[in-house]
Amino acid sequence: MRIDVHVHGSRDRLTETPEEFVAQSRAAGVERAALIASPEETLKALKELPDYIIAVPRFDIDVAKVSEIHDAIDAGAAGIKFINPRFSYGDTRYDPLYAAISDRKKVAAFHTGYLGRGRAVAAPDHTDITLMRPAAVDCLSRRHPDLKILMSHYGNPWWEEAWKIAWSAPNVYADLCGGTAIYRSLLMWREMFAPNGELDEASLSKLLFATDEHIFQSGYVKSCEPFFAFYDRLLDAVGASEAQREAVNRGTAIQLFGLV
């Protein structure tokens, strides 16, 4: 079983009953999923699928208020997602938001790296992917050592930078969802997680399973299959043990999000 820590979608697109959807998803191997959408969408889905949805509402980092962060967490959010800032994630102007999430022991999820054209959440004319480099996450992680951080997309295309930060910072984790990670040579990933053929357990322990797929649309589970295959190939290539596979696929997510 796997926990998909990065999905999108609207509950209104669901054609089955919530019970049918959860049963189908789990039968295919997806135990739970972290929904990234507006606060209204995530909390609506959480209310209807409380044992399946992990609510990670998305906020505009440049207009969000600390009170809104607390309200979302009070309503059941397990994390908060940020994307497309007007200033670097590491800018101290965002510290009150980070402190609010840290104080509540929730996860701060950051889009890192390239943001696909036409898919930006905010107005695309201000998109600057250099503001979302993993280095910016490293900067804020030093000021907020107790903040649980998830770097979505492994900093694509700054893979090496993301690897170094996830390896170095105790509070930083990452996933390989969406984008082009699954299309890169497996040799690159094998050398990153098992340099010279020797498994780097510290690096692998920071990796989580994720897809970036649209969960409530027809064919969600089918769309996950390339990611199932990619993660399995990667874990095979680095010689991961069953315990390490379990951690990547679900165990680390349970720990990070405080799931029961």
Tens of pLDDT, residue by residue over 88-114, are 999 999 999 999 999 999 999 999 999
- Which amino acid is residue 128, in one-letter code? D
Contact 7, 211 (CB under 8 A): yes
Contact 187, 173 (CB under 8 A): no
d(CA 173, CA 162): 9
Query: CB neighbours (10 Å) of residue 186?
Result: 14
> What is the value of pTM for the model shown?
0.95
Residues near 38 by beta carbon (within 8 Å), at least 6 away in sequence = 57, 58
Q: Would you state the structure tokens that stand for residue 258, as one six-digit string? A: 């405080």
Sequence spans of domains, the chain? 2-257
d(CA 77, CA 246): 24
Question: According to the model, what pLDDT value does residue 118 have?
Answer: 59
Among the CATH numbers 2.60.40.1080, 3.50.50.60, 3.40.50.300, 3.20.20.140, which is that of 2-257? 3.20.20.140
The bridge status of strand 207-208 relative to strand 2-8 is: unpaired
Question: According to the model, what pLDDT value does residue 217 have?
Answer: 80
Residue whose C-alpha is closest to residue 45's, from 10, 5, 3? 10
Question: According to the model, what pLDDT value does residue 116 have?
Answer: 82
